[in-house]
Structure 1
Amino acid sequence: MPSPQHLLLKQFLTAATGPLARRRPSLNGLRLGLEVGSLFQFLPWGVHLESVRIEGMAAEWIRPQNAPVGRVLLYLHGGGYVLGSLNTHRSFIGELARRCGLQALAIDYRKAPDFPFPAALDDARLAYRWLLTQGYQPHDIIVAGDSAGGGLALALLIALRDNREPLPAAAIGLSPWTDLVLSTATIRRVAHEELQLLEALTIRGWGGHYANAVPLAHPLLSPVQADLHELPPLLLQVSDAEVLCDDVLSFAGKAQLAGVPVTLQTFEGLIHWWHLFWRLVPEARLALDKVAAFTHGIWAAQAEAARILGSTRPPKAAAPRLRARL
């Protein structure tokens, strides 16, 4: 049963989406609204910000106090490939990084329709390669994202694998958008819920903006359509009430059949993007704690593997002693 705080949030958003649906605001209007809303968000206490540019692309280091410098969370924000920015997700990424005890690199990848596929994927790959040039090892990088950013994180893994590039230690998808096709069956399932139906019809259009002339079922647009073998460990979180739930479950099942270690965590009755309301909704804070536990588990598994590998190596031969001159 969702918390009272979540129910209050849902009622507010349902009331707010009615006028929006009737007015059909432009993408620029929606973007402006999100940017204005971000003015009321603040970084968590003890989290520091540093702006950086990666070959002209705006990005930010979001560093919790005492976070180790050798590991990084590469974060790709959501927004249907058409919305969202560093501003809209800064507070959330800061809290996620703080709970995980990791520094995060957030990027402002290019948005559709001005920059359709593969612009966002190219920017994500650019950021990952840039981290490698900065001295980070692939096993010290975790890629994460929410909604479209979660789908983009999964597409990044597939693109890196297909290009025989080193893969990161793991990936995290928070309600990831794994199938841009968004089947009619899914639309019917949520048709009784005004907020979900509006969301489904809206993001179906946004998917078309991003795909442009490329088929929506292309595996780098819809990762659920891809061959998923040899991917690193995945954490997927989704609510059973979300529009994207069926597709996330399908992706998780397919990844498990391909031999990918998948941690699937489902929540009950929560709206899409519930993670972003971590200050208000206790379920969001619980979800972030589960993400932190997953990242800690990745590092612990690496340490254990290194310990076992070290214990099985043959002992080094003793250095020859020099005979002293008499």
Structure 2
Amino acid sequence: MTALTLRPIASRLPSNRAGVQIARTLVEVAMRAGGGVARGTAVTAVDEDGVVGEWVDATGRAQPTEAPGTEAGVVLYLHGSAYAICSARTHRGLASRLSRDAGTPVFVVDYRLAPEFPFPAAADDIERAYRWLLDQGYQPGSIVVAGDSAGGHLALDLVIDNARRSVPQPAAVVLFSPLIDLTFELAEGRERVRRDPMISAAGARSLTALYTSNEQPDIPRLRLAVEAGTLLPPFLVHAGGAEMLVADAEYLRDLLEANEGTCTLEIWPDQMHVFQALPRLSPEAGPALRRAAQFIRTELAHTAPKHSTP
């Protein structure tokens, strides 16, 4: 279905402000139609110290702001879509199901979007949100960073920057269909093997260029090289077998393992980009999200501070 609907629409939208506004509306409608918010979810908006986003909590426990860092940990979620389209609102359903399955509240960052706010606005907002969680009382070992698509690039940038600045790392990183190569050369290579049902590499590149247009692609915060000896948290990476960014997922695994990091890569056959967000379209969305939730619980159990019983 996506090859007959989403790709033709995406390929015809102009990569300018008008086209971006249309895309934002279409994606929000599609995300709502493809997967609703989990029952009993509490949503709390945040606009504090330059950090904008929302707490999404489907655990049924107290709101995370009442007792930071003292329960099962927290997920810091970095949404995708080419740095230009999505928001905390579009990802509320995905965040709610991840919160329910992992048993943790999720904070979704509403970072600034291109073309209104080009590089490095989004990356700076993510760094600010991570440090804000630390200031709120969350221990690094009680935080898992998760994200999809362009959120994958932002997540890798965050942990590389943490290592460079000697900021304590989160417990783990979970990525769905991560975008790593902003030149889209890897995606183009994959396209020659299998056509992506959602968008072409050229179309995705033109959107991402709204964020990076005035920068050289090989600057450190865009190319994201991992220097030898860099200590990074363990990664779980999901990619759909039908999407072009499976090439980026494989590249990320190789990059991490070449630097003695840990990365579990799972390629879900015949699935599209960020299929975890669309349970009404993809029967594999639920199992994949539960797999991610299991990884989150396991890593938090390894690293989160233990509290004694009174």
| TM-score of Structure 1 vs Structure 2, range by shorter chain | 0.7 to 0.9
Stretches of structure 1 that go unaligned for 5 or more consecutive residues are 1-10, 308-326
Structure 2 distance, partners of 1:287, 1:219, is: 32
Tell me the alpha carbon deviations over residues 269-326 of structure 1, each in whole angstroms, 9 at most, x when there is no partner: 21112111023322111110110111121123237x979xxxxxxxxxxxxxxxxxxx
Answer 1 or 2: higher relative contact order, Cα 8 Å, separation at least 6.
2
The two structures have a TM-score, normalised by structure 2, of 0.86
* TM-fit CA distance, 1:35: 3.4
1:1-326, aligned counterparts within 5 Å?
Answer: 11-22=1-12, 24=14, 26-37=19-30, 40=33, 42-67=36-61, 69=64, 70=69, 71-183=73-185, 186-191=187-192, 195-196=196-197, 198-223=199-224, 225-227=225-227, 229-302=230-303
* The structure with more radius of gyration: 1
Residues 146-193 of structure 1, C-alpha deviations (whole Å, 9 max, x = no match): 00012211111111111111111111111111110111x642542576
Task: Supply the distance in 1 between the matched residues of 2:217 and 2:226 (Cα, whole angstroms).
Answer: 12
CA contact (8 A) 1:207 1:216 kept: no
Deviation at 1:87, TM superposition (A): 1.5
Cα distance 1:272–1:166, how it changes in 2: closer, same or farther (>3 A)? same
Give the superposition deviation at 1:220: 2.0
> What runs of 5+ residues in structure 2 fail to find an aligned partner?
none
Q: Could you say which structure has the higher helix fraction? A: 1
Q: Percent identity?
A: 33
Q: Structure 1 residues 17 and 254, CA, compared in 2 at 3 Å: closer, same or farther? A: closer
CA contact (8 A) 1:241 1:268 kept: yes
- Displaced runs of 4+ in structure 1, greater than 6 A? none
Q: Structure 2 CA distance, aligned partners of 1:214 and 1:251? A: 22
CA offsets per residue over residues 33-58 of structure 1, 9 Å max, x none?
A: 22344565642012211111132443
1 CA distance for matches of 2:198 and 2:36? 31
Larger CA deviation: 212-221 vs 17-26: 17-26
* Aligned partners of 1:63 and 1:104 also within 8 Å: yes
How does the TM-score come out when normalised to structure 1?
0.82
| RMSD between aligned residues | 2.5
Q: 1:85 to 1:13 in 2, by over 3 A?
A: farther
- Cα deviations across residues 255-280 of structure 1 (Å, max 9, x unaligned)? 11211121111111211121110233
1:95/1:243 Cα in 2 relative to 1: closer, same or farther (>3 Å)? same
* Equivalent pairs, count: 295
